[in-house]
Structure 1
């Protein structure tokens, strides 16, 4: 019976807390604990599950507990203070970032006065003072307050000329620069162009380069770009865009395909080399079952420790563990080659749609069916539990790739019906359609000297920014694999 359970894990049974807790702490276990918290009618057991979490998420988990008991409702109100119950909570909880700057900016003057009179001295009280008096001129004269505002509330209200950045020139300064560049803060951006870029590391230089390019100072942009020490494909690409043909050749010499090298390959009419077949089925019973989340956890533990990676890959030489073998081989070859496996997950006469689905699946999970992310996105297509429920499906069925792919394709088709553009759909699949409509689509440019690449570098969230690039490159590559050579980056990115 125990063996049966291992082969067919918790999603076939009613959740059992004791059984869940026999597994090691991980995001997989946290997912099951979260679902147990949702399912149980016992406040005591829900709290026990909460106390056993590997990485608690206050908004998510305390919200679930708040539905079980008034005690937890009060605690949840503290970590998610809303204007309507501002005066009902213990003011001390606001010190733990329970009241966001965005919420603070929407408070009435009476509420701001109440906060100012009851809060102890500190950055939160100073922030309230700024909103109360609609005066933000002093916030960048205080390091903690300055970081607090620009990282959590990069609104145009805080925009101002800054003559001295020395207060912020520390390990976190690149965050200051990045948020200033990504948002509509022209005065701060202008101030940043007066910095001596030579004094900073590559991370900060990158954003100073983007800032100069965004503000149409090509001469400064070139100087900053060329001063970056670690020359990645992204750096060579931008050197090429700024007129360096030697950098173009560097991209053509790079065998590893990404959006930058692929664009260069297409420009030169050069073919890219990919390997799709890596399985010879020499193993009847592979070491790990890639459809079982607990088994996948064990795989990752061993993967981190193994030195003999090619031997490890041979132990996984089966269609049943193709995704795991691809991960091992990629590392064994030191990521020099392009492994684009084609597990039989989806068929469609529309090669464009099929290729896009494979492009998403590769980026989301590398085709591992039992994947669970830090945010509890599930399966091959990494679908969030709330979306799974919106589609009237069961979260515990998502490690069956057929059901997971079905929902993923359904969602992709819906996104295409709203956005039409493959790049926008990629961003939306990662960050949500609301994020694309509010923060991407309206700011995205297809016309201009460096477009749409400059707009791609200015997508607000780091994860979404890189995700879009990778999915579009995957989409083109899988289109070629499945027989449609007419789908190219140059066509996709030309509007």
Structure 2
């Protein structure tokens, strides 16, 4: 019980400077890494900075740059400087600096003479030998006898370089050699999403039985895109048979329905009772009532200090390990801690049931219903309504604001004495998210596009999603999203949007919404 009494204490830390002793008392975690990053911004000595670095779980660039500024070691400061300078400027620096900044994509973007000069400059480094095939007249030919390196560079050189240097036919033998490596799936995805058709047509000759479920699904999309109906069906059939998760099986079955118009696939999906975007679409196509989620309406205050990231971590770890669930459920069965309660109930159902809750309602009184639905949809996906959440990239709070965006928003809103730790306060997080959504909605007019932009940035959405909508149907564009994380995020937000629309009595049809997606892709200034 003493452990849990710690959870009930008020959260007093963030009015005080951070200390090494405090950091040492906390578990090795992303949460502690964030506070180490904050500590490195304080007035500390080089010795203290070194001690702090030794506590870090994952040394990312944010932490390393601040550490370098404090350590007063010229070599480390130089490494930090070289990591940040633009690639073009790095070409004029010494070899030590250039090697730090050199990437396959940047290297191959140079003309051949410059590439050869760069190799001479860095000749004493192992990277010179590794990059040598990219300095030849034809990197594609130079790498053909080394399938592992071929896949490595293919996946690393960037879209423009793949189109220019790698979009050539591959023999059946070459494909068989490439197929042996785990990165072959990523290779297929890039071929499919970037329309590398000289390779893509060769991939369609592969036998579905020799591929993984995901590889089959990707090639099914490619065949569907170019009207190779029978090939598409063969790939989708194999994907459906070999996918393990219900969500993936629904995905493959729905695309088989799109291909064949056979409603048996829709019935197969709705029988799964899985809340996912394709199950929702199948229910709508069959005009069936859905029972894909459970809504719990809670009231009252919370006795768990989950605004504190370390308390949130302790609670989440307990739930993950299945410990003290009844105690935590009792403490969290209220509106303020509704997110914790929902996680526990999902855990108890062995993840068969999806629980939805509506905390923070007092902060949504002035919002229109669609904005309220969107905020709930984003917050559920971002943090499961745990205000003390911190991501590996240091996104903060219930709506996971990145530090740079939080600072920018605070300045724009005229908030004085703003601290990043303020983002763990639900009211502040919602205020900031509302402001950011005002900006996104001025350019994007569909919740899926807004979700993509909220997660990966409006620039990513403008470059990778909007051009595709001018050529292909929205559901295909959704699956062709080049970022697996962003693709999954968008689907989850739309699933949440559908559920919260039902909870708040807002008329929303997911099928109609997605079909209209290509009508809402106009952006000014991007």
Q: Is TM more than 0.5 here?
A: yes
Contact 2:82 2:101 in 1 (8 A): yes
SS of the residue 1:198 aligns to: helix
State the shift of 1:270 in Å. Answer: 2.4
Contact 1:330 1:339 in 2 (8 A): yes
- Pick closer, same or farther for the CA change 1:84–1:92 going to 2, 3 Å: closer
1:76 is the counterpart of 2:80: yes
More displaced stretch, 369-378 vs 153-162: 153-162
Could you say which residue in structure 1 is the equivalent of 2:62?
60
Give the one of 28, 33, 37 matched to 2:36: 33
In structure 2, distance between residues paired with 1:121 and 1:67: 27
Could you say which residue in structure 1 is the equivalent of 2:167?
159
State the shift of 1:188 in Å. Answer: 1.5
Give the one of 403, 406, 415 matched to 2:428: 403
1:104 is the counterpart of 2:107: yes
SS of the residue 2:41 aligns to: helix
Give the one of 137, 140, 147 matched to 1:136: 140
Q: Which runs of 4+ in 1 moved over 6 A?
A: 2-5
How many residues in Structure 1 have an aligned counterpart in Structure 2? 485
In structure 1, distance between residues paired with 2:487 and 2:194: 14
Contact 2:250 2:278 in 1 (8 A): yes
Give the one of 370, 373, 388 matched to 1:352: 370
Contact 1:290 1:323 in 2 (8 A): no
Contact 2:280 2:510 in 1 (8 A): no
Contact 1:83 1:107 in 2 (8 A): no
More displaced stretch, 370-379 vs 47-56: 47-56
Give the one of 454, 470, 490 matched to 2:492: 470
More displaced stretch, 427-436 vs 268-277: 268-277
Could you say which residue in structure 2 is the equivalent of 1:329?
345
SS of the residue 1:103 aligns to: helix
1:238 is the counterpart of 2:248: no
Could you say which residue in structure 1 is the equivalent of 2:15?
12
State the shift of 1:41 in Å. Answer: 5.0
- Pick closer, same or farther for the CA change 1:472–1:190 going to 2, 3 Å: same
In structure 2, distance between residues paired with 1:121 and 1:178: 32
Give the one of 479, 490, 493 matched to 1:457: 479
Give a deviation string over 1:287-323, Cα, whole Å, max 9, x none. x432221111111221122268567534532334221
Give a deviation string over 1:384-442, Cα, whole Å, max 9, x none. 11100111242110111000111011111111112222211110001011111112211
Contact 1:371 1:378 in 2 (8 A): yes
- Pick closer, same or farther for the CA change 1:278–1:305 going to 2, 3 Å: farther
Written as runs of structure 1 = structure 2, the 5 A alignment for 1:210-221 is 210-221=221-232
- Pick closer, same or farther for the CA change 1:280–1:402 going to 2, 3 Å: closer
- Pick closer, same or farther for the CA change 1:204–1:135 going to 2, 3 Å: closer
Contact 2:167 2:197 in 1 (8 A): yes
Could you say which residue in structure 1 is the equivalent of 2:237?
226
Could you say which residue in structure 1 is the equivalent of 2:196?
185
Give a deviation string over 1:186-223, Cα, whole Å, max 9, x none. 21211211212211221222222222223321211101
Could you say which residue in structure 2 is the equivalent of 1:361?
379
More displaced stretch, 155-164 vs 397-406: 155-164
Could you say which residue in structure 2 is the equivalent of 1:173?
184
- Pick closer, same or farther for the CA change 1:133–1:42 going to 2, 3 Å: farther
State the shift of 1:115 in Å. Answer: 2.6
Stretches of structure 2 lacking an aligned partner (at least 5 in a row)? 411-417, 520-526
Could you say which residue in structure 2 is the equivalent of 1:301?
317
Give a deviation string over 1:132-189, Cα, whole Å, max 9, x none. 6465332243223212222212420221111122332233322222222222322121
Stretches of structure 1 lacking an aligned partner (at least 5 in a row)? none
Written as runs of structure 1 = structure 2, the 5 A alignment for 1:43-58 is 43-57=46-60
State the shift of 1:349 in Å. Answer: 4.5
**TM-score normalized by the length of structure 1:** 0.89
State the shift of 1:276 in Å. Answer: 2.0
Written as runs of structure 1 = structure 2, the 5 A alignment for 1:423-438 is 423-438=448-463
CA RMSD of superposed structures (Å): 2.8
State the shift of 1:120 in Å. Answer: 5.3
More displaced stretch, 112-121 vs 401-410: 112-121
In structure 2, distance between residues paired with 1:444 and 1:11: 46
More displaced stretch, 375-384 vs 252-261: 252-261
More displaced stretch, 261-270 vs 430-439: 261-270
More displaced stretch, 249-258 vs 469-478: 249-258
Contact 1:233 1:251 in 2 (8 A): yes
Give the one of 7, 24, 40 matched to 2:27: 24
- Pick closer, same or farther for the CA change 1:181–1:333 going to 2, 3 Å: same
In structure 1, distance between residues paired with 2:398 and 2:299: 22
- Pick closer, same or farther for the CA change 1:437–1:256 going to 2, 3 Å: same
